[in-house]
């Protein structure tokens, strides 16, 4: 059976090389940052009066956790 020149795994019709550690870390950091900024944008959009201005970091970290968790869950499927 043929082997993959990149990872050395068996070449089948459904072969995919494993992700490197750097790819995994970059993917997790970018999805967490995107989730955090999305949460800040939603807070700014829906809180026009500025009632939750002191909770911006809580929104950012909450969105980051949701973004990273969603990315990890989708990656496993």
Q: Where are the domains of the chain?
A: 21-76
pLDDT, the chain, mean: 86
CA pair distance 13, 54, nearest whole angstrom: 53
Query: Residue 40 in contact with residue 62, Cβ under 8 Å?
Result: no
Query: Residue 64 in contact with residue 29, Cβ under 8 Å?
Result: no
CA pair distance 77, 71, nearest whole angstrom: 10
Instruction: Please write the tens of the pLDDT for every residue from 44-70.
Output: 888 888 787 788 888 899 999 998 888
- Confidence (pLDDT) at 77: 61
Helix (H, G, I), strand (E, B) or coil at 60: helix
CA pair distance 62, 59, nearest whole angstrom: 5
């Amino acid at each position: 059976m043929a082997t993959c020149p990149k990872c050395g795994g068996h070449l089948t019709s459904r072969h995919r090389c494993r992700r490197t550690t750097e790819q995994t870390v970059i993917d997790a950091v970018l999805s967490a940052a995107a989730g955090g900024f999305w949460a800040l944008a939603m807070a700014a959009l829906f809180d026009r009066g500025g009632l939750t201005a002191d909770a911006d970091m809580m929104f950012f970290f909450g969105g980051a956790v949701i973004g990273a968790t969603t990315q990890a869950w989708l990656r496993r499927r």
